[in-house]
Structures are given as C-alpha cells and as structure tokens.
Amino acid sequence: MKVLLVSPQFPDTFWSFTYALSFIGKKSAFPPLGLLTVAALLPAAWSRRLVDVNVETLTDTDLLWADMVFVGGMAVQRQSAKEIVARCRAAKVPVVAGGPLFTAEPEQFAEVDHLVLDEAELTLPQFLADLENGTPERIYRSSGFCNLHDTPVPAWDLIKTKRYASLNIQFSRGCPFNCEFCNVTTLFGHRSRIKTPQQVITELDCIYATGWRGSIFFVDDNFIGNKNYLKTDLLPALIAWRRDKKGCVFFTEASINLADDPELLHLMVLAGFDSVFIGIESPDEVSLTECHKIQNKNRDLLACVQHIHRSGLQVMGGFIVGFDCDLPSIFQRQIDFIQKSGIVIAMVGMLQAPPGTRLFDRLQRESRIIDTFSGDNVDGTTNIVPRMGLDLLIEGYRSIMHEIYSPKNYYRRVQTLLRELKAPVINQPLNMQRILSLFRSLFRLGFLGKERFHYWRLLLWTVSCRPRLVPTAITLSIYGYHYRKICELYIHGAG
C-alpha cells in the first residue's frame, strides 16, 4: 500500500508568521505533527510520503503515485482541505480524513471516503483492520480517550526539518478547566493524560539527531495540567537531557496559575523554556465569570504576568472581546491591560463559538450562530450574533488592533517586557540563519520600514541596558512586522 499524507495550507494568520519567515529563510512555522504521528501508526510495510502544502506543491504525480491519501488538519485549514479532497476525487484516489477539523464537523465532508475521527491511536487501528479484511466503514469514532503511552514517535524522516521555523512535540492532552468557548475538553477531555519522560526524551533525541538546534513547541493545551508530575519527573528529565546538548529552546501553553508556583517556574526555565502562551481573555471579572475562566478570577492578572516575566518566561497572551456582558469600555480596557502588561505577542480575537463547545450549544439554542467557525482568532470575523451588536464589536476590535500594533505602542510594549524579563538561561547557538535575520531586520526594519525610528530606539536601548536580550529584541521586532501585515490584511483593509 502506498499512502500519501497531505497537510492542508494555513492562510496568513497571527500564528502563521508568514511575513516573519522570510527574515529567517523558512517556509512554514511548524510541521504537521498530527500527520507525522499518524504516519508512525501505519503498517511498517506500507510506503509513505508526506506533502505539506505549506512548504511544497502537491503535484498530480504525487496523487498518481498514491493508493490512498490521508488528510488531516484544523478548522483554519478548511478551504485548503476541501480543495485537496476535490483533487483526490478527480484523480480517483480514496481519501481518509481525520483531525480536529473533520472530527468537529464530519457532516461537511460527504465527499470523503473514510472519516477516521477523534484520537487516531484508537480509531486508526480499527480502520486498518477493516481495510485489511476488505470491509472498511465510512466513519470511525471512539467513545473514550487513548493512553498516550501507546503513542509512537512521529515519523520525522518524512519531512525536511530545515524548512520549518520550529519543530513540535506533545507531552500531554486534555485540560482540567472548562472554559465555555474552548473545544479542547470536547476533543481531549478534562483529565491531563501524559507521556512518560522516556517517551519525551526519545522524541527529543530523534529531533536532535536530525541536526535540529532551534526552538521546539510543546503543543500541550495546558502543559501544567499535572504540576506534580512535571516537577518530579518530566522537568528533571529535560534538565538532565540538555546537559550535553546545545540549543533547543522550548515554549508551550499553560494557564495563569503557573504564576502561583515559583518552583515550577524555576524548573521550566532550567529545562530550557523561554516563553509560554496564556489565555488571559479579559481584564473584566464579569466576563471571566461568564465564560467560566475560573482560573483567571480573583487575582491581579498584571502582577501574575510580571511575576512570570521576572522568572525568565515571556508571556504570549490570548484576549477575547464580544462576551455578552462586555460593555463598550472593554476595548480601551483591553488596550490598557496589554500595554501595561508588556505582553508583546497579544492575540486578540472576537468571540467565536467552535462546534462542540458549550458556547456553541448555548448560542445555537438562542439562534445566535450565523456562520461557519473560521478557526482564525484574528481574522476580524465571528460566527455569532454578539449581544453588544456586530457593528460596535467590529469597530471596537479594529480599534484594539490598530492601537496595540501601531509601531509606537508595539515597540513601547517590547521595551516594557525587556525591562522585566530575566535573561534566558538557555540560548540558541549563533548560526548563519540568525546572522542573516539580523542583517535583514537592520535593512528592512531599520532603513526601509515605517517603524525605523522605533526600531533603532529599541535596539540602542537594549544594547545599552539589556545587552543579553538583544536577540529577543530583534526577534520581537521581526514578529511586529508580521503582525502589522496581518492587521493590514484583515483589519485595516476590511473597513
């Protein structure tokens, strides 16, 4: 059996880093970890190829080679996924599809031959057994969640890692919290299921053996879902692993209660983590109550962010406007919070309701679902009827994005962060890629860019006051260029 695994294209989004990749000579931010894991679950005797259309073209020759095509992706990849499925049908190649996009809305893909949904560790073996017996069904679902001890090492040999800005790894699935707008618990449950430290180390060894020395994203929905296990098992194993290693800085996602645990913060920094994405959502306690973001309530969020920064972890923040209880004042409150916090990478989106969430079910009962869930938090759209009115929400949202990503406010926020951020314990080794990114930023941002005054002011201040953080200043300056391009594409140009 010859199997072609195809990863659909991501549109230009906040997290695609499309406009930043050219500075570092990369083609995509992350490889398709889900498909690489699926590939490792396939029979060893099968021939496998993987085409990630984010870094290469899917050709007719690829489709002619394949006996079967596996497609996986997320909601934001919907359009590309549909185009790939259509090409497969035209080429008369059977299609097997899975992943969050297909699991959440299988009814939208009647043209797919086989839908292998939920977690592949459970449903893919059933499909493969039926296929071998000549009796494959169209839809495969599971009633529970898998044991991650059974998850294989992703098939890293199927891709060229140098095409990507960062590689990825998964330690756990699931989240103990129950935010109304989030579909993580629908897909992966409330209990944090974990791999063993040896599994993680084996995966890291495979990545390191490819020659990779760059950043690695722990894609866990909440990395600190099991704090005790992290502190006693995984983080000590990571600290020991990197004793004879160079580079490989980590980043991940976590909840704000990370700020409550100094020991955990210290261990994460020693293990090589330098940044963490946290869903802040709103500075308004009533909005946090509405969306059941209980872990963010009754705390000084600004102080929490500052505490994490001072530990050596940069906070990347998620923010939402459009909750039912949001007042028109929320837009300025969000701007003020983001600026004061020094959260440079601030993903602000209008509230959307992903299928399968309690929010979707509630608003559907209220006849307030009006469109397909885009899966893109910052494209300036929503699939709901907001209580405050759509026009007011859009206008307020655009005002936030205009303010926080204007060069003046963006670079001011970078400086706020660099004043607080503890210098990293682990540094990525200097290589030609990083040298070229420096010169490209000096030329594109320092001489050609509209932000050149702010760029040079930040750079000179950092060299003078926080010299060890110059690489961080350069990186964030490049990210700022990307975010402004995204704002021009979705926000300013949409008016």
Is 287 a member of any domain?
yes
Supply the pLDDT for residue 429.
Answer: 72
pLDDT-derived band at 492 (thresholds 50, 70, 90) equals low
Q: At 41, which CATH number?
A: 3.40.50.280
d(CA 456, CA 24): 20
Q: What is the pLDDT confidence band of residue 93, given thresholds at 50, 70 and 90?
A: very high
> In total, how many domains does the chain have?
3
User: Are 390 and 321 part of one and the same domain?
Assistant: yes
Largest distance between two CA atoms of the chain: 70
Full residue range of the structural domain in which residue 450 is found:
429-494
Same domain, 129 and 265: no
Same domain, yes or no, for 258 and 406? yes
Q: Cα separation of 180 and 173, whole Å?
A: 18
243 Cβ contact list (under 8 Å, min separation 6): none
Note whether 52 and 19 are same-domain residues.
Answer: yes
What is the secondary structure of 356-403 as a DSSP string?
Answer: TSHHHHHHHHTT-B-S-----TTSS--SB--TT-HHHHHHHHHHHHHH
Residue 335 covered by a domain: yes
CB-side exposure of 16: number of CA atoms within 13 Å? Answer: 21
CA gap 252, 270 in Å, rounded: 15
* pLDDT per residue as tens digits for the range 118-132: 999 999 999 999 999
- Span 426-459, pLDDT tens digits: 777 777 778 889 999 999 999 999 999 999 999 9
What's the mean pLDDT when you consider all of the chain? 95
Q: Is 39 domain-assigned?
A: yes
Residue 146 lies in a domain: no
160 assigned to some structural domain: no
| Residue range 246-298, pLDDT digits in tens | 889 999 999 999 999 999 999 999 999 999 999 999 999 999 999 999 999 99
Q: Is the pLDDT of residue 493 over 70?
A: no
Same domain as 112, residue 172: no
pLDDT beyond 70 at 494: no
CATH of the domain at 218: 3.80.30.20
Q: What is the pLDDT of residues 137-160, one digit of tens each?
A: 999 999 999 999 999 999 999 999
Task: Write out pLDDT tens, residues 296-339.
Answer: 999 999 999 999 999 999 999 999 999 999 999 999 999 999 99
- The count of other CB atoms within 10 Å of the CB of residue 261 is 15
Residue 224 falls inside a structural domain? yes
CA-to-CA distance for 239 and 231, rounded, in angstroms? 11
Same domain (yes/no): 333, 450: no
Q: Does 299 lie in the same domain as 173?
A: yes
Looking at the fold, whether 396 and 440 belong to one and the same domain comes out as: no
Tell whether 379 is covered by a domain: yes
Is pTM beyond 0.85 here? yes
| Spatial distance between the Cα atoms of 161 and 32, rounded to a whole number of angstroms | 11
- Does 305 fall in a domain? yes
**Residues 352, 227: Cα–Cα separation, whole Å:** 30
Residue 238 Cα distances to 152, 221, 321, angstroms: 19, 19, 37
HSE of 6, CA atoms in CB hemisphere, 13 A: 30
pLDDT-based confidence at 424, cuts 50/70/90? Answer: confident
- Do the Cβ atoms of 393 and 414 come closer than 8 Å? no
3-state secondary structure of 103: helix
Q: Of 419, 439, 463, which residue sits at a domain end?
A: 419
- 89 pLDDT tier (thresholds 50, 70, 90): very high
Q: What is the mean pLDDT of residues 53-72?
A: 98
Where does the pLDDT of residue 27 fall: very low under 50, low under 70, confident under 90, or very high at 90 and above?
very high
Out of 140, 175, 204, a domain closes at: 140
Q: Are 53 and 82 in contact (CB under 8 A)?
A: no
SS (H, E, C) 20-89: HHHHHCCCECCCCHHHHHHHHHCCCCCEEEEEECCCCCCCHHHHHHCCEEEEECCHHHHHHHHHHHHHHH
The CA-atom distances, in angstroms, between 15 and each of 21, 145, 380, 405 are 11, 28, 15, 15
489 compared with 39, residue with greater pLDDT: 39
- 299 and 360 both lie in a single domain: yes
pLDDT over 50 at 495, yes or no: no
